[in-house]
């Protein structure tokens, strides 16, 4: 998938083969009972419909010449009956397959969502989110009909062709061969169209993905767009992407629209050939009027399944590009996952050790090199240093959001890479710089990580972080609805709610990454009092640019040049007059 660009087409890492289609049968097998029922109903509907031309032939060749009105009435009722049976069975079959199609959509989309939740941060860091969304929503909708009705219809139309051929040869062998003579011509036409058509629809998929990625990015950044008055420039970019999508769609439809006319023209030629052969080549004694009418009807019926198969093939080619991208997402490795022999880490006390840890986000570009340190249970550790030095990376590695290049991280002497992710992260409270608020109530946002929390526990957590006061002043209090990303809350309010959410989980290890960056000085002072109570007995890692907030930490580590440049208490580092001293003095003078 294109990395961080909305204007770069996606490139499939592996070409499509029929193993992908075979793999999709996993979703079909679950509903094989319903699909077989639908197929049987379709067969009865098809056979019922094929009896009509035989009834017509008999009426033209026998009943009408004999002027047998009673028999003609019976034949008419029988003809109407075959139509009624065909329509009834087809309707029931259609309803069954509609349900099956929706069930398949549900299954594929559920698998995609579950897999996306297991993928590492790196996957989302490197990809436009709009290109991920379109796979879960649009692409799944598109392929579901192919996997449900498409497979059934292929079998059904093949059976229809077989039944029609049996009926045709029963009526007249020579005229049946005339009907079949159009197949080689049709096959040549389809071979000419197939390859170009698939490439054209892959291009449509790319352009649709690009457009969706840019749209999602601009919706998320709408405020920034208006602040910098970028509406006109963004509209021009959107127009360019829309124009590329329009051109790719027209090009793809051009190839798709060649299929139906080709089938229709061959069918028309074949029906004309029946009249030519039947009236001019064969003798009237060999071919009756009823036979010609019946064969013409069967010829239309014979080419109808072929036209239907062409449309199915058309739809199949169109959706192959989408199926490829769905499986590409499902095949994306969940690199941060439980190892085969992973075990529950058990109840932890919070002893942390980094042993010669080296890490890089990109191969060959290390962020941290050979870092080693120990943290005793209950100690508070502050990480300071210049922007981009790797402070947030340290706590991300502790939470195993990324795997190490080399070295080892242990908690209570147990290697975290050998522990199950759930047992590890469920005992860690992590508050990142981005205070993400989900749509819903404030109440639900606070208990997001602990659904069994009582109302009293939720309020207590909010009180500790000084959030209870502003929440209680809202019209609906804790039941106040907040929008996606908490757009109607201030930055400080979002951070306090996130703080309450983290603290409610009662973590053994607490990670605060710039947790108070959006909070005013007065609220921060009150918050610090609550935190001091909470930090007792918990191992904590605190990243803060305001050095006044971490003076009382048991250990301060100055991160720079891919490692720990200095380590000690506040007083020790001040006395050393090194990098921390320079940073603290400069900040203190500014204040």
How many residues belong to the chain? 591
Structural domains in the chain, CATH included, are: 18-330 (1.20.1560.10), 339-427+508-591 (3.40.50.300), 438-506 (3.40.50.300)
Residue 282 confidence (pLDDT): 64
d(CA 79, CA 73): 10
Residue 558 confidence (pLDDT): 93
Mean pLDDT of 553-574: 91
Residue 2 confidence (pLDDT): 44
Helix (H, G, I), strand (E, B), or coil: what is residue 501? helix
C-beta separation of 39 from 152 below 8 A: yes
Q: Does residue 118 surpass a pLDDT of 90?
A: no
d(CA 576, CA 139): 61
Q: What is the pLDDT of residues 172-209, one digit of tens each?
A: 777 777 777 777 777 777 777 777 777 787 788 788 88
Mean pLDDT of 4-12: 63
Q: How many CB atoms lie within 10 A of CB 282?
A: 16
* 81 vs 260 pLDDT, higher one: 81
Average pLDDT, the chain: 81
Residue 263 confidence (pLDDT): 72
Q: Does residue 33 surpass a pLDDT of 50?
A: yes
d(CA 38, CA 524): 66
Residue 407 confidence (pLDDT): 93
- Span of 209-223, 277-291, 492-506 with lowest mean pLDDT: 277-291
d(CA 372, CA 478): 44
Mean pLDDT of 371-392: 90
* 272 vs 386 pLDDT, higher one: 386
Helix (H, G, I), strand (E, B), or coil: what is residue 259? helix
Q: Does residue 38 surpass a pLDDT of 50?
A: yes
Mean pLDDT of 566-579: 91
**Band of the pLDDT at 278, cuts 50, 70, 90?**
low
Residue 1 confidence (pLDDT): 43
**Band of the pLDDT at 273, cuts 50, 70, 90?**
confident
Residue 306 confidence (pLDDT): 76
d(CA 252, CA 207): 12
DSSP tag of 278:
I
Residue 520 confidence (pLDDT): 65
Q: Does residue 448 surpass a pLDDT of 50?
A: yes
- Span of 11-15, 174-178, 516-520, 567-571 with lowest mean pLDDT: 11-15
d(CA 429, CA 508): 8
Q: Does residue 293 surpass a pLDDT of 50?
A: yes
How many helices and strands (H and E) does the chain possess? 22, 12
Q: Does residue 14 surpass a pLDDT of 60?
A: no
Q: What is the pLDDT of residues 404-446, one digit of tens each?
A: 999 999 999 999 999 999 899 888 888 776 677 888 889 988 8
pLDDT winner (highest mean) among 66-70, 271-275, 549-553, 580-584: 580-584
- Whose CA is closest to 562, among 369, 406, 386, 339? 369
Q: What is the pLDDT of residues 488-521, one digit of tens each?
A: 787 778 878 888 888 888 888 988 877 666 566 6
Mean pLDDT of 471-499: 81
Q: Does residue 20 surpass a pLDDT of 70?
A: no
Residue 57 confidence (pLDDT): 72
What DSSP letter does each residue of 25-70 carry, written as one string?
A: HHHHHTTHHHHHHHHHHHHHHHHHHHHHHHHHHHIIIIITTTT-HH
Determine how β-strand 380-384 pairs with β-strand 365-375: unpaired
C-beta separation of 495 from 466 below 8 A: no
**Band of the pLDDT at 255, cuts 50, 70, 90?**
confident
Given the structure tokens 């190892």, which residue do they identify? 339
């Amino acid at each position: 998938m294109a990395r961080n660009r909305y204007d770069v087409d996606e490139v499939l890492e592996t070409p499509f083969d029929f193993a992908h289609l075979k793999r999709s049968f996993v979703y079909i097998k679950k509903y094989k009972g319903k699909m077989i029922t639908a197929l049987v109903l379709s067969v009865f509907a098809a056979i019922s419909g094929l009896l009509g031309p035989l009834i017509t032939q008999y009426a033209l060749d026998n009943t009408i010449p004999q002027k047998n009105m009673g028999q003609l009435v019976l034949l008419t009722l029988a003809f109407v009956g075959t139509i009624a049976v065909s329509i009834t069975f087809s309707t029931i079959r259609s309803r069954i397959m509609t349900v099956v199609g929706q069930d398949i959509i549900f299954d594929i989309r559920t698998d995609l969502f579950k897999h996306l939740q297991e993928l590492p941060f790196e996957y989302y860091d490197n990809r436009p989110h709009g290109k991920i969304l379109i796979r879960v929503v649009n692409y799944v909708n598109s392929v579901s009909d192919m996997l449900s009705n498409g497979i059934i219809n292929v079998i059904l139309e093949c059976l229809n062709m077989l039944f029609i051929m049996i009926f045709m040869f029963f009526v007249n062998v020579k005229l049946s061969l005339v009907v079949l003579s159009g197949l080689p011509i049709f096959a040549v036409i389809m071979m000419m169209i197939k390859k170009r058509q698939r490439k054209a629809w892959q291009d449509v998929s790319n352009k649709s993905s690009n457009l969706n990625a840019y749209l999602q990015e601009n919706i998320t950044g709408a405020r920034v767009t208006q602040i910098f008055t970028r509406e006109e420039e963004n509209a021009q970019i959107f127009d360019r992407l829309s124009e590329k999508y329009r051109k790719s769609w027209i090009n793809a439809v051009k190839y798709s629209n060649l299929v139906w006319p080709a089938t229709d023209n061959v069918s028309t030629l074949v029906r004309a050939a029946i009249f030519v052969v039947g009236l001019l080549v064969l003798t009237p004694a060999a071919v009756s009027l009823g036979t010609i009418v019946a064969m013409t009807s069967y010829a239309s019926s014979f080419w109808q399944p072929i036209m239907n198969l062409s449309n199915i093939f058309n739809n199949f080619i169109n959706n192959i590009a989408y199926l490829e991208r769905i499986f590409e997402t499902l095949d994306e490795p969940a690199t941060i996952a439980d190892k085969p022999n992973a075990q529950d880490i058990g109840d932890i006390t919070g002893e942390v050790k980094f042993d010669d840890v080296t890490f890089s986000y990109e191969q060959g570009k290390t962020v941290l090199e050979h870092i080693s340190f120990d943290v005793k249970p209950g100690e508070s550790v502050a990480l300071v240093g210049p922007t981009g030095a790797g402070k947030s990376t340290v706590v991300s590695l502790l939470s195993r959001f990324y795997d190490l290049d080399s070295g080892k991280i242990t908690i209570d002497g147990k290697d975290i890479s050998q522990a199950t992710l759930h047992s590890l992260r469920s005992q860690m409270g992590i508050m990142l710089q981005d205070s993400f608020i989900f749509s819903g109530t404030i109440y639900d946002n606070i208990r997001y990580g602990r659904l069994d929390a009582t109302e009293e526990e939720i309020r207590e957590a909010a009180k500790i972080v000084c959030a209870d006061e502003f929440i209680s002043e809202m019209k609906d209090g804790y039941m106040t609805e907040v929008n996606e990303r908490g757009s109607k809350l201030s930055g400080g309010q979002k951070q306090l709610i996130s703080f309450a959410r983290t603290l409610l989980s009662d973590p053994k290890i607490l990670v605060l990454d710039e947790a108070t960056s959006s909070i005013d000085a007065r609220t921060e002072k009150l918050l610090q009092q609550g935190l001091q109570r909470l930090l007792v007995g918990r191992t904590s890692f605190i990243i803060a640019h305001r050095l006044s907030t971490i003076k009382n930490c048991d250990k301060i580590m100055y991160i720079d040049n891919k490692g720990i440049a200095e380590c000690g208490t506040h007083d020790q580092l001040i006395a050393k007059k090194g990098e921390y001293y320079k940073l603290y003095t400069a900040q203190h003078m500014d204040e």
